[in-house]
Chain A
Amino acid sequence: MGTSYTPPTNPDWWREPIERTEIWWIVLAFAWCLFMTAWMVGWHFSGTQNMSNETYRTTPEVFSKKVADMQAQYTIRKDTATGEDVVAPPPGSDVYLAAMQWQYRPILELQKGKSYRLHMTSLDVGHGFSLQPENINFQVYPGYEQVTTVTPNKTGTFAIACGEYCGGVNALGHHTMLGRIYVKE
């Protein structure tokens, strides 16, 4: 007698020896578990793509001012698609990007191989930052400013899409939300 829906036939079941198939599998699986843990930690030291934790509490007003200051200083031209400012902050500087219903602004222009401290916040509800076609994705919140050091490693025109549902109506909403980053040599 012995099934999974009747009590264990051996009243001393904890002391029952474990059979070989299970032992080998447990040892192998556990070793892999330890490896994955170590790799995740190790990537922080030797990998070039890691999450930044630098975050601050902020407000839409405070952040918008920083955007405006950056825009005033570093706008280089008008974008052909929308006529809006394209902002080209210097390498190594603090770059400010705001998410809002339903766009990411300002439009940025960065240089390949250079690093920038990218600050992001939302001016209203939660949004997702998704750089395409790189497919780099972050959450962005109102009241929180996160800073990530980004180093573009290819040139081109990159879109920012939103992956976190943020409302809207048929014509304008989460599904139409876009931003843009140009990367030049």
Chain B
Amino acid sequence: MATTTMSDFRIDPVSGLKINRTANKLVQWNAFAAVVFLLVGGLFGLLVALTRMPSVQLLPPELFYMALTAHGLVNLAVWIIFFEMAVLYFLGAHVLGNRLATPAFAWAQFWLMLVGAALVAVAVLGGKSSVMMTSYPPLQAEPHFYLGLILFAVGALIGCFVFLGTLVVAKRDNTYQGSLPLVVFGGVTACVIAVFTIVSGALILIPTFLWSIGLIGSIDPMVYRVVWWAFGHSSQQINVVAHISIWYLIASLVFGAKPMSEKVSRGAFLLYILFLQLGSAHHLLSDPGLSSAWKILNTSYMIYLAVLASMIHGLTVPGSIEVAQRRKGIDTGLFTWLRKAPWGNPIFSGMFLSLVGFGFIGGITGVVMSVEQINMVIHNTMYLPGHFHGTLVAGTTMAFMAVTYWLIPVVFQRKIALAGVAKLQPYVFSLGAWVMSIGLMGAGTLGVQRRHADITFAGQPLAYEYPEIAKGLMDLSEIFGVIMAVGAIMFILVVLASIFTGERIAEDSAPWPKVEDADVTAAKAGNKHIGAWGMEAPGTFVLAMILFVTIVLYYFINFKYLSTVWGLS
């Protein structure tokens, strides 16, 4: 067993963390790959947006379906999972002053994922694998499509076990005392959910691959969907856990915030571990054959316990910021703590925009859509992409972008270049994502279907015309989709400029000023934390109540709408 010497580690002047050089390389390579794929997937997304604008319709249908398949896979799977590998290694190694358990396996993770992604890209761009990200049989892609996905998944699985092994090393080498830090526990949560996700994917994609090369006669479409969605939806739930961990991290980095209650936050992560994957049933609510009992128990994540967990994090993250601000003396009124937050710092603004976007746009709509009966008036309409751009783009991607502004100095040892662009980026990106999501959901409520290259049914004898306003909403939404793409390009420009031309931060340079832990500041100043109404985070409570009232109203509005359609039983 190799022993590590001091030169294997460096003390990072930006964060104060003790960073292992090999682990750092792996974080760099995974993060960089992630950003490259964000760009590639984003460009396909731009082509999709320009085609789905009824007034533009850029691509002809066959190319559109190919671009849509590429956009879905690259952005939903490749960009995000590469970034999450970087995050896991960062949490397991850098945050714990630790080395990676088995760097050789970590490199295997990277290369398998890269080769897998490349194979899928070749298959999709070849034009005969336009089966959408979901690749439902009997639609069949070329064998290397499935093989690429399998290799990608195996790589990710290896990464998960490298992370878990890394935690074992940290414990054994005593690099930390007591329990894992909260954000690392969030990493554990993401990782174990990822294992379920990937195993489910393998269970279904391997037989499907064998079918594509003729070794298996057929794949039952319902069996495929049940098992595939254990992979498909759960992979997105990993993102939720990852971005929530990042929110907690940023709250501490920017404000010196401390978790309001380790028990509550970790308990909420436990609810995720147990029940989050059950939400895969959301995709099967309008399917035949599955019992209502199965649908109700699974779609509710077990009587909504995982939703409870999300609502908890939705309060405790901003709550911890409010408490930190109040302890530092910004203790007046209900929202002064928020007004006086550093809105010009993209690490914070991106994080908070992610929180609000995920909660109000993605979260509320997700809870409502996942009601078994309401799903009937939503399923496979544009409401779906509207919802998941609210969760994945306004939420997860925005959070990942925000933390990248901090990771670049720490991991790449470069100062942020184009700082002015970085400052604006979260606002541009979020504006685009929020309005696009809301607009698409509006179009979906008016019936516009998913994955259509052309919504006019032009030239069809049984022609149907969506209401004019639906087409208008599609135009509007996709214009904001373009704005969102501009926001993404701004991010990529900042990242590339910083990594390649940003001012280097010498290893031995003076430590950067660190934000003092809020309770240390409070103790020194003798601040008595006041809050209001006996609560230490009253402003956050008010914001949470606004979210709550919105959910309740929206829930009943949707049931009212459901009750007006044809009787169904």
Contacts and interface: CB of A to CB of B under 8 A. Distances in A.
A178 B459 CA distance: 12
B161 to A, nearest CB: 23
B449 A21 contact: no
A145 B569 CA distance: 15
B319 A40 contact: no
Given A21-B536, A137-B379, A8 B565 contact: no
Contact of B261 (A18, A103, A163): A18
A155 B536 CA distance: 57
Contacts of A139: 284, 286-288, 379-380
Contacts of B269: none
A6 B18 CA distance: 13
Nearest to A121: B288
B136 A2 contact: no
Interface stretch (A69-77, A89-97, A128-136): A128-136
Interface in B359-400: 367, 371-373, 376-381
B519 interface: yes
Interface residues of A, number: 94
Contact of B566 (A8, A22, A131): A131
B447 A40 contact: no
B373 A47 contact: yes
A2 B258 contact: yes
Nearest to A120: B288
Interface string A152-171: 11100001011111111110
Nearest to A79: B462
A45 to B, nearest CB: 11
Contacts of B463: 81, 178
Interface string B524-557: 0000000000111110110010001001100100
Interface string A115-150: 100000000111010111111111111111110111
B563 to A, nearest CB: 7
B260 interface: yes
A64 interface: no
7 contacts: A20-B536, A29-B312, A48-B567, A48-B568, A153-B567, A163-B379, A164-B450
A18 B264 contact: yes
Contacts of A5: 95, 181-184, 249, 252-253
Contact of B541 (A21, A132, A140): A21
Contacts of B464: 132, 159, 161, 178
Nearest to A38: B303
B380 A137 contact: yes
Interface of B: 60-62, 65, 95, 131-132, 136, 138-139, 176-184, 220-222, 248-249, 251-253, 256-264, 284-292, 295-296, 300, 303-305, 307-308, 311-312, 315-316, 319-320, 367, 371-373, 376-381, 445-447, 449-455, 457, 459-464, 466-467, 517, 519-520, 534-538, 540-541, 544, 548, 551-552, 555, 559, 562-569
Interface string A76-118: 0000011000000000000000000001000100000001000
A62 interface: no
B261 A16 contact: yes
Contacts of B287: 138-139, 141
A135 B292 contact: no
A128 B304 CA distance: 28
B60 A51 contact: no
Interface of A: 1-11, 13-14, 16, 18-22, 24-26, 28-30, 32-34, 36-37, 39-41, 43-44, 47-53, 55, 81-82, 103, 107, 115, 124-126, 128, 130-146, 148-154, 159, 161-170, 173-176, 178-180
A124 B138 CA distance: 8
A25 B544 contact: yes
The listed residue with most B CB atoms (<10 A of its CB), out of A19, A21, A22, A24, is A21
Contacts of A103: 462
B423 to A, nearest CB: 24
A71 B376 CA distance: 28
Contacts of B537: 21
A40 B568 contact: no
B251 A4 contact: yes
B288 A146 contact: yes
Nearest to B252: A3
A41 B222 contact: no
Given A34-B303, A40-B300, A40-B371, 18 more contacts: A5-B95, A5-B184, A5-B252, A13-B179, A13-B263, A19-B535, A26-B308, A33-B307, A37-B303, A49-B562, A125-B136, A130-B449, A135-B447, A137-B286, A141-B287, A161-B449, A175-B61, A176-B454
A126 B221 contact: yes
Given A19-B261, A81-B461, A151 B566 contact: yes
A37 B262 contact: no
A21 B251 CA distance: 18
A49 B562 CA distance: 7
B288 A36 contact: no
A127 B170 CA distance: 51
Contacts of B221: 126, 141-144
Contact of A3 (B257, B376, B548): B257
Given A7-B177, A51-B286, A14 B263 contact: yes
Nearest to B539: A21
A126 B373 contact: no
Contacts of A134: 377, 565-566
Given A41-B296, A133-B467, A149-B569, A16 B563 contact: no
B562 A32 contact: no
B32 to A, nearest CB: 23
Contact of A29 (B131, B176, B311): B311
A21 B300 contact: no
Contact of B457 (A143, A146, A178): A178
A149 B568 contact: yes
A130 B180 CA distance: 49
B366 to A, nearest CB: 12
A8 B567 contact: no
A130 B568 contact: no
Given A22-B260, A137-B286, A163 B381 contact: yes
Contacts of B312: 22, 25-26, 29
